[in-house]
Structure 1
Amino acid sequence: MVVAMREGARHHEMVRLVDPPNGIRNQGKHYYSVSNTLFEIDTKYMPTKPIGKGAYGVVCSSINRETDEKVAIKKVCNIFEDPTNTVDALRTLRELKLLRQMKHENIIVLKDIMMPPNRRTFKDVYLVYELMDTDLRQIIRSGRRLSENHCQCFLFQLLQGLNYLHSANILHRDLKPANLLINDDFDLKICDFGLARTINRMDDEFLTEYVVTRWYRAPELLLSPDTYGTSIDVWSVGCILAELLGRKPIFPGTDALNQLKLIVDVLGTMSDADLGFIDNSNAWQHLKSLPHSPGVAFAELYPNADPLAIDLLQKMLVFDPSKRITVAESLKHPYLSDLYDDNAIPPAVDPIDLGINDEIEEYMIRKLMWKEMLYYHPEVAAK
């Protein structure tokens, strides 16, 4: 998703009002061309400009004419195009189910899901999110100076949101700067939950290596992807913190093996005790075959960083997941002491069970999506 709800991206295409395809206009809908993509949206929404386009959809900023609120509309296109491949549809369904159940100031808000004209044949899904101004990736790449307070503020909000997710038994599994949306007040919200899973789902659907953009992928996912837990998200947060400190990715691997080598180059060659979590003999042998590395001190990589930030980074980027700091411990770290308030950290919420797996068929995905849409349209449900 994720250029998703960013208003600050630069696009030169115009948003144009167009005629409906084949001259057939569905009731309550009007039609726009956005980045050369047809948007069939509710008439209460007025698109203003394109703000993102990627593999999972096209996004535009819009005005809700009933409330004058600015929103972001994401069109997920042709999710049922290939009946033998429901990956995109399942990603969308997971996002719908999770965002409906999660309420936290550091989690993006899904405000609406537009009802399609036909519940049995719809191909596209239109999601309406709160609109944010930019994302952390854009801020890091901009060259804009980031003060220590900025780094602490972004990191603390990320950890607060992640603490909430983990308390609900949810792993995000794809944390990266592009999935952290920021507004002009420096509020941060986590987005893109298409790869999220419940922690207690110990099956093939849950335990998959296809998680986390490679540069932010924890060692256990590279070496022993058959089992993992909340520590994979903590590793990703450590990579994000390093990127804030150095203004570039710390482990920009070109493939999985190169990714592992870059990690060892920085952290140093691991002792056998640090490799006890690896249950794959081939992975263990590969790691032992890498050239010896003494490692590089984080203080040398980031000489201008606050020593407390370095200390927290060292605790997050620990090779053995069992020795990695937790989210709760990170929130209490001295680097964040000025922001931490024990009473302000939300208590554990009720665990969320998605109740879906990769084996469900297209008709059931449609049925579950329609059910999610009805939560936002009680007037339709009442009929």
Structure 2
Amino acid sequence: MSMSARPGFYRQELNKTVWEVPERYQNLTPVGSGAYGSVCSAYDVVLRQKVAVKKLSRPFQSLIHSRRSYRELRLLKHMKHENVIGLLDVFSPAAALEDFNDYLVTNLMGADLNNIVKFQRLSDEHVQFLIYQLLRGLKYIHSAGLIHRDLKPSNVAVNEDCELRILDFGLARQTDDEMTGYVATRWYRAPEIMLNWMHYNQNVDIWSVGCIMGELLKGKVLFPGTDYIDQLKRIMEVVGTPTPELLQKICSEHAQKYIQSLPFMPQQDLEKIFRGANPLAVDLLKRMLVLDCDGRISAAEALAHPYFSQYHDPDDEPEAPPYDQTLESKDRTLEEWKGHPTACRWSSEPPPPPPPDGKPRLHGVSRAECFWAAWRPSAHLLTTEDVLEWN
């Protein structure tokens, strides 16, 4: 039921939450909710496309929430890449600080990889195109000096045209930050996070990509550990026991002793684990699922791997400007945090309209169009409507 609101905005209650949004965003429909906010789909009458509107849940109730909200806003605003979720708009209907709420508007995506892999087995061609896009977005993120730290299938969205975007920068950090050990969902967590958790680098994301790629190829989770210990054991059963030299890189004496207490486990042949898979895909996995993070392939190097030969174009795999973390690292009062995001707010400068068909263009013709021209007869990816039915 709509209610009165300030000029240019309208109010609507959805699932016991009152939304107050600009009139340009019509047909609000609940999509999901979590600890940090709720999301609705909407139709943007200015851009003439469906969008996702996220209402942050009490973004400035504490200093911790304020810093997180501001960080999410700045990270989304910084990301301008076809394979990374970005910010289309940000607004607040409130003028008074005590009533302050922030709304973020992003591209509306359909299913995530977690839903897709549950309901269908993907062809090698699908895996190739999806992982290429994932690495293309990851190269962009890493070039900004950032680590995502929580890559997993549910944080990778895909629309009905097989176009992919990386989501959720809640755990993203700069590479020179002090790291914490419990950051990624266990099954996709790089071993060095558990074993050496103060000094890891961007290659933790590459391990996660390897786990995701392996899951897409096999149709099931690669390392479904039941707890911290079981996770390490399952990983070593595949990649082998760490060498004495690698053990020296592990800061935790407890972790060192645990590994030394285990029987020797040789490295397994990935060709047998992924029997029948494209040999180039298996070769790439071997370069991603390396126990020593310093020996792992980078996102830029992975894009040049022969597995992606039909998509790889170094001139169309852009890098990001460096991300400056100093603003969000400063100590501020709650009132200062509330006021600071207004510098990022777009009230009269929406981004330019998309191309006529609403799809990002690569070399004049979207890569998704090229892909689907060849594979649509034998392939079907889940649509937004499919996902809404499950929810």
Fold shared per TM-score above 0.5: yes
What is the CA–CA distance in structure 2 between the aligned matches of 1:262 and 1:98, rounded to whole Å?
34
Of 137, 141, 146 in structure 2, the residue corresponding to residue 170 of structure 1 is: 146
**Counterpart residue number, 2:347:** 377
1:207-250 deviations in whole A, cap 9, x for unaligned?
22232222111111101111111111111111111111112221
Structure 2 residue 330 is the aligned partner of structure 1 residue 353: no
Tell me, in whole angstroms, the C-alpha distance in 1 between the residues paired with 2:290 and 2:99.
46
> What are the residue-to-residue correspondences of 1:330-369 with 2, within 5 Å?
330-346=302-318, 348-355=319-326, 356-357=328-329, 360-369=332-341
Q: 1:101 pairs with 78, 84, 87, which one?
A: 78
1:378 Cα deviation from its structure 2 partner: 4.8
Q: What residue is the counterpart of 1:288 in the other structure?
A: 260
CA–CA separation in structure 1 for the residues paired with 2:249 and 2:293: 8
User: Deviations along 1:56-81, whole A, 9 cap, x unmatched?
Assistant: 22211101234432111111212333
Moved more, 207-216 or 157-166: 207-216
Q: Map Cα deviations across residues 19-49 of structure 1 (whole Å, 9 max, x no partner).
A: 46xxxx4343322233332222222212342
Secondary structure, counterpart of 2:162 in structure 1: coil
Contact 2:270 2:282 in 1 (8 A): yes
Query: Structure 1 residues 258, 36: closer, same or farther in 2, change over 3 A?
Result: farther
- Alpha-carbon separation, structure 2, partners of 1:345 and 1:78: 37
Q: TM-score, normalised by structure 1?
A: 0.84
Partners of 1:58 and 1:74 within 8 A in 2 = yes
Matched residue type, 1:135: D
Distance 1:187 1:122 in 2: 38
Identical-residue share of aligned pairs (%): 41
- CA 1:294–1:109 in structure 2 vs 1: closer, same or farther (change >3 Å)? same
SS in 1 for 2:26: strand
CA gap 1:91/1:256 in 2 versus in 1, 3 angstroms: farther
Q: Give the equivalent residue in structure 2 for 1:182.
A: 158
Unaligned 5+ residue runs, structure 1? 1-16
Once the two structures are superposed, residues 53-110 of structure 1 have per-residue CA deviations (whole angstroms, 9 ceiling, x without a partner) of: 22222211101234432111111212333x3x61x43333222112212211111121
Q: TM-score, normalised by structure 2?
A: 0.83
Which has the bigger relative contact order, CA under 8 A and spacing at least 6? 2
State the SS of the aligned residue for 2:55.
Answer: strand
Give the match for residue 255 of structure 1.
227
Deviations along 1:115-155, one digit per CA (max 9) or x if unpaired, are 23125224532111111222111111122x41211101011
The change in CA–CA distance for 1:275 and 1:65 in structure 2 (over 3 A counts) is same
CA distance change for structure 1 residues 334 and 372 in 2, over 3 Å: closer, same or farther?
A: same
Q: 1:148 to 1:34 in 2, by over 3 A?
A: same
One-letter amino acid matched to 2:146: I
> Is residue 169–residue 198 contact of structure 1 (8 Å, CA) maintained in 2?
yes
Q: How many residues get paired?
A: 348
Please report the RMSD computed on the Cα atoms of aligned residues, expressed in angstroms: 2.1
- Mapped to 1, the partners of 2:33 and 2:119 lie a distance apart of 20
Q: What does the per-residue CA deviation read over 1:287-322, in whole Å, with 9 as the maximum and x for residues that have no partner? A: 222344335332222212111111111110111111
